[in-house]
Amino acid sequence: MSVATPAPVQRAGLARYLLIEVIAISALFAAGALVLRASGWDLRIEDLFYDPRLHDFRLRHSPWLELLGHQLLLAVPIGIGLLAGIAALAAPRFEILRPWRGVMWAVLASICIGPLLIGILKQVTAAHCPWDIVRYGGYADYVQDWFVRSRADAGRCLPNSHAGAGFSLLALYFAGWAGGHRGWRWSGLAIGLLAGVLFGLVRTVQGAHFASHSLWSAAIDWLVASLVFLPLICTATRKEPPVRLATGATR
């Protein structure tokens, strides 16, 4: 049985794709972040993990959470990005990989660009991490400003880069779409959402990020992936080689 090649893609109209995938869903994540911040739920959620008697977050210095949740989890998106890059580079020499070359480059680009943009934004946003806030034994005010005039005044906490690494796997949703595999598409969505929520939760529990910071990361990663994959999903249908089934028949 040969490896499945990309199936004929259910192409999306450009206007519909831009309205729903690029704008509406990105805006939905952003709106969720705004609601968490404006309603005070950011603080209420963080209060659950703070111990006033210790004047610190209970799991901030947990060695296992730091190792497994903060460090080793990053191997997942990094590994997927590396595999996608290797597959894209090897595609010209291997017929099985050749139809997937564009998809693999797009996966790699999405996994790199989203977290990179998040890292840049952290240098110009004013929000501090929970453990830096006076409410949680820190030194900084819980500011409502978004951006700073000087990088020296940056809170270096918004968006959540760790959650951004997890949500970068939302690229797998678009990869399944571009490859014409409906099951892979929705599995990719589940993987990206679960990874982002898990990565973000780890840092929220540690007191490193508010929940809204993670939703901002989701908005950025989704926006990046939707734009990177736009040419593969919205262009005219390409001719695909037949997919060989286990019986050797074609379809």
Q: pLDDT tens digits for 141-151?
A: 998 778 887 77
Nearest alpha carbon to residue 146 among 34, 24, 40: 34
pLDDT at 251 over 60: no
pLDDT at 236 over 60: no
pTM of the predicted model, to two decimals? 0.90
pLDDT in tens, 160-200: 999 999 999 999 999 999 999 999 999 999 999 999 999 99
pLDDT in tens, 66-95: 999 999 999 999 999 999 999 999 999 999
pLDDT at position 124 is 92
Extract the tokens encoding 18. Answer: 């831009």
- Cβ proximity of 179 and 9 under 8 Å: yes
Cα separation values, 242 from 5, 11, 237, 251, Å: 8, 18, 14, 6
- Cβ proximity of 103 and 179 under 8 Å: yes
Q: What percent of the chain shows pLDDT beyond 70?
A: 89
| CB proximity list for 48: less than 8 A, separation 6 or greater | none
For 27, counting Cβ atoms within 10 Å of its Cβ (0-12 exposed, 13-18 middle, 19+ buried), the class is: middle
pLDDT at 239 over 80: no
pLDDT in tens, 195-219: 999 999 999 999 999 999 999 999 9
Nearest alpha carbon to residue 160 among 191, 205, 190: 205
pLDDT at position 5 is 63
